[in-house]
Amino acid sequence: MALDGLRFAFGTLSVLRVRVDRWDRTAAGRAMLAAPLVGLVLGGFAAGAGALVGLRAGGLLAAVAAVAVLAALTRGLHLDGLADVADGLGSGKPAEDALRIMKQSDIGPFGVLTLLLVLLAQVAALAGAFAGSAGRGALAVLTAAVTARCALGWGCLRPVPAARPGGLGAMVAGTVPPAGAAAVSAGCALLLGLAGTAEGWWALRYPAALAVGLGCALLLLRRCVRRFGGVTGDVLGALAETAATGALVALALL
């Protein structure tokens, strides 16, 4: 049932306490398609926090608040995956050794540098949006959060294998039909465009930002599949953060 997938999505992708009754690949595929709903809820909390802080402290602190709330509501799951993938790709070692590096609990120099640059980019882009208006900043947060979760579906397409057995990556890898991922992303693009109608034709930049973010994530996915032989939970987290950052940078440039 669709409800099983929704519970799976919130139970694995957020700190919200949800009872997960079904833990199998069918539910996992539905969860990856439902992931943008998780982004909408978490992004709503983060957007609200940013808007409230921005009213008293300006755009920069509003951006920091929004990014911090999103990280807290996911336990830093996607950021951790991004750092691990950066260390794995940066190691230059064979796939088996790179996967072992990614599984270690510590963080290397590539991971630290990548996290620093990504978070700086996200905060800088959101600071500009919140400086324009609280509404524009909130919509930018929602765009990033939804785009990040759309990327998860593309990372779990049926032709994409798991890099190793076991773990969340193996559970969700290859569970999403391409048509389903495309339909969900198109629906999200439409909703973001409608949400920004107050900006007139400039509302088109929100669907465009989603497309740019997904394009960045797909490039990383291609690199990871070639390098590691498939996806892992860390790769999916890296895709989410890459998509979010790409979308925010696109909004800043547009």
Residue-wise pLDDT for 179-211, tens only, equals 999 999 999 999 999 988 877 778 899 999 999
Segments in 156-232 forming alpha helices (H)? 167-172, 178-195, 205-228
Asked if residue 20 has pLDDT above 80, the reply is: no
Q: What integer pLDDT is reported at residue 70 of this predicted model?
A: 95
CB 67 within 8 A of CB 118: no
Share of the chain above pLDDT 90, in %: 58
Q: What integer pLDDT is reported at residue 1 of this predicted model?
A: 57
Q: What integer pLDDT is reported at residue 67 of this predicted model?
A: 96
pLDDT in tens, 221-254: 999 999 988 899 899 999 999 999 999 999 999 8
pTM, two decimals, is: 0.93
pLDDT in tens, 135-173: 899 999 999 999 999 999 999 998 888 888 877 778 888
Average pLDDT over residues 213-220: 96
Asked if residue 93 has pLDDT above 90, the reply is: no
How far apart CA 138 and CA 126 sit, in angstroms, is 9
**CA quadruple 113, 119, 122, 124: dihedral positive or negative?**
negative
Q: What integer pLDDT is reported at residue 47 of this predicted model?
A: 94
Helix (H, G, I), strand (E, B) or coil at 1: coil
Residue 17 identity (one-letter amino acid): R
